Structure 1
Amino acid sequence: MLRIPQPLTPPSICLVAPFAPPYGGMAVQAQQWVDQLTAHGFLVVPVRANRRPSDVSLWSQLPGVRTGVNLARFLRDLVSAFHCTDVVTIFSAFFNYFFWVTFPALLVARAQKKPVILNVRGGAAEAFFHRYGTILRPMMRWVSAVIAPSGFLAQAVERAFGVKALIVPTMVDVDRFPFRIRDFGRARLLAARNLESLYGLDVVLESFARVQKKIPHARLTLVGDGSLRLFLERLAVRLGVASSVQFCGAVPHVEMPAVYDRHDILVNASRVDNLPNVILEAFACGLPVVSTRAGGIPFLVDHGQTGLLVDVDDCDGLARGVLHLLESAESARAMVYKARFEAEKHAPKRVINRFLEVVSFVLSERSR
């Protein structure tokens, strides 16, 4: 446990992250952090790291120009925000995001001598560290603290750089997700991820086709959008399940509690992942989970206790997991009570208090 001297006045915090729209895990988390820190009385200055989809100006249609203008705007916003805040926290994904967002933010913070808390995110971190470790190692000395939402990422950071990452869990506002026990006879399945290869929606569809052979009235809803939508719609037709699959597109996060409430099982087939918001939200509202054990997911889902885990790309295993829950209601009910208890460990107050311990520690170290 950190020993924290209490500051006389709350520090001001700059939070650099992607924000919705579009809706993704980091964007949802970032907005919750801004809302909760503000509710706790802190001045929070958010800096948006992603371009708004509503930007339809001429320059936004020209790839080379667009990149330059976006970077110039981002740097301008960083300089302005860092100037009026005490500490910077950067939500950092990896690969392209790191070079276009994290690295420029670190440079500006270093130039302005601002303490930085690096909030590492994403299931691809370990591969990125392995590939670019030589470049990253000096940069890790520029940050005052590293935080991670799971033991999976904390271990990856320590293995790559010998730096101890402090765990600040992913946040879920459990009060927004009413808990209830499902009627598993309805067999309404939900997959809520962006329609991209790393989230394995093709595996979800293949698995659903197997489930429907056993339970013809089963239905599947896909929430999310992405580059594979047309491919997945055609796959559903080829598998003969198109009439039982609904593609909803992107849904604002504020509407997700109602979406969860209409379904009976959450199916997740990630190929690369860390600690998905969607699983925590399912835990909170009593939606049993069948997932692949990609990346950090086993650090969240205790197989057989809070959900079921199968190997990545295991269509048969995913289908068996779904069928087990549908056919063994007592087992499913036992899991969801344990899962709700796990979700409560990620309640906003706990997460924010832990983060503020890190902020206070960083500022106290800096004042020495």
Structure 2
Amino acid sequence: MIKILYVGNYLKSQRNNISSIHVLGDLLSSEGYEMTFTSAQTSKILRLIEMVSDVVKQKDQIDIVIIDTYSTLNFYFALIISQLCRYLKIPYLTNLNGGNMPHRLKNNPYLSSLIFRNSYYNVAPSEYLIKAFKDYGYGRLLYIPNTLKIDHYPFQTRLFDAPRLLWVRSFSKIYNPRMAIEVLKILRETFPTSTLTMVGPDSDGSLKDVKESAKQKNVKVNFTGKLSKQEWTELSKNHNIFINTTNFDNTPVSVIEAMALGLPIVSTDVGGMPHLIDQEIHGLLVPPNNPQAMADAIVRIFKNQELRNFVISNARSRAEQFDWEEVKVKWKVILGERLEIRD
């Protein structure tokens, strides 16, 4: 069986949400691939050192390296590891993450080319990123969506008496969590008993600002901190709308999970979201930084039962397309290609 070194943010702490390396890595392990993961170091410097060390130590034992690649500081981790792989003649593929990746391609064309023009494949979880990379002339692109095990997300019929909003993300400025507070404040003009639960760890200090905003607007919000997938999906039973307020996005797994659970989605129309959600078919999309538009969309869902039932049903069907039993076939094809080349 093919041996894979998976390089990414393997942290498991209260400050970090589960990332691709945890989800995809565990699923590939379940299929019998021999997986090694790096790195779980909290310090970014120590994390990079361990990543480099593991690549060098395992260069003769591994068949391919998967590199989780982001547009943030971790972009430079991917740059270093990819070039090390080139030097050691180890094939690597990039697993692209983050809705802001096109800005990285624009702002760092030379460094981007070093990574993406020399990879075995550039795997993107959305057609949005595929198009962005094609626009900059990149090849070896393959669309493999983010995935989940659909049987872990039972569909539930919900009561729509008053909005009970659920927000699931890390508290980071790019995800615009303060907008959720503004949406709740506006909603209470129509539905005075509206509630909001915000699930996720603090990433950049935004949680403090969001709590202060809620206090200033005199709205009570349930801040749970980081929860496991099982915990927040259980919590979702008491909610009836999922909101996504981000300014940059790709195809977040949390939104796909909410679609699977039967929560109607109201999201900002950014990044890969319109590739995931067709307007008024799988959910409702609104302009970014527009809490009034999001509140209006939520009210519309509550007042239009036909539309609500339509988007909920279609969203569940859409989510089923991301089931691991469907997605794993694509991973097996490209990893199988690598095994044939090696043999």
Let me know the Cα RMSD of the aligned residues: 1.9
2:27 and 2:96 mapped to 1: Cα distance? 19
Contact kept? 2:79, 2:111, Cα under 8 Å:
no
Which residue in 2 is equivalent to 1:90?
Answer: 67
Which residue in 2 is equivalent to 1:73?
Answer: 50
- More deviation in 224-233 or 282-291? 224-233
Q: Deviations over 1:272-307 (max 9, x none)?
A: 111111110011110110000111110001110110
1:67 and 1:162 mapped to 2: Cα distance? 29
Q: Does 1:116 align with 2:92?
A: yes
- More deviation in 155-164 or 215-224? 155-164
Q: SS at the partner of 2:7?
A: strand
What does 1:108-147 align with in structure 2 at a 5 Å threshold?
A: 108-147=84-123
2:114 and 2:32 mapped to 1: Cα distance? 35
Aligned length, in residue pairs = 341
2:209 to 212, 218, 231: 231
Q: Deviations over 1:107-128 (max 9, x none)?
A: 2222321111111111110000
What does 1:152-167 align with in structure 2 at a 5 Å threshold?
A: 152-167=128-143
Q: SS at the partner of 2:12?
A: coil
Q: SS at the partner of 1:278?
A: helix
Question: Letter of the aligned partner of 1:236 in structure 2?
Answer: A
1:333 to 303, 309, 312: 309
Which residue in 1 is equivalent to 2:193?
Answer: 217
1:40 to 10, 27, 31: 31
1:92 and 1:206 mapped to 2: Cα distance? 33
2:53 and 2:319 mapped to 1: Cα distance? 38
TM-score by length of 2: 0.93
What does 1:1-368 align with in structure 2 at a 5 Å threshold?
A: 10-22=1-13, 27-48=18-39, 51-52=41-42, 67-99=44-76, 101-226=77-202, 227-241=205-219, 243=220, 245-365=221-341
Contact kept? 1:198, 1:272, Cα under 8 Å:
yes
Q: Deviations over 1:240-283 (max 9, x none)?
A: 21x3x111111123322212222110011110111111110011
Which residue in 2 is equivalent to 1:5?
Answer: none
CA shift at 1:193, angstroms? 1.2
1:239 and 1:150 mapped to 2: Cα distance? 37
Q: SS at the partner of 1:103?
A: helix
Contact kept? 2:16, 2:170, Cα under 8 Å:
no
1:75 and 1:213 mapped to 2: Cα distance? 55
TM-score by length of 1: 0.87
CA shift at 1:24, angstroms? 8.9
1:162 and 1:28 mapped to 2: Cα distance? 25
Contact kept? 2:11, 2:41, Cα under 8 Å:
no
- More deviation in 193-202 or 309-318? 193-202
1:98 and 1:221 mapped to 2: Cα distance? 32
Change (3 A) 1:23 1:350: farther
CA shift at 1:196, angstroms? 1.2
Contact kept? 2:160, 2:240, Cα under 8 Å:
yes
Contact kept? 1:195, 1:228, Cα under 8 Å:
yes
- More deviation in 131-140 or 262-271? 131-140
- More deviation in 135-144 or 198-207? 135-144
Question: Letter of the aligned partner of 1:11 in structure 2?
Answer: I
1:247 and 1:104 mapped to 2: Cα distance? 37
1:24 and 1:319 mapped to 2: Cα distance? 29
Q: SS at the partner of 1:267?
A: strand
CA shift at 1:26, angstroms? 8.0
Note the residue ranges of structure 1 that are not aligned, 5 or more in a row. 1-9, 53-65
Q: Deviations over 1:117-153 (max 9, x none)?
A: 1111111100000000122223333211111001001
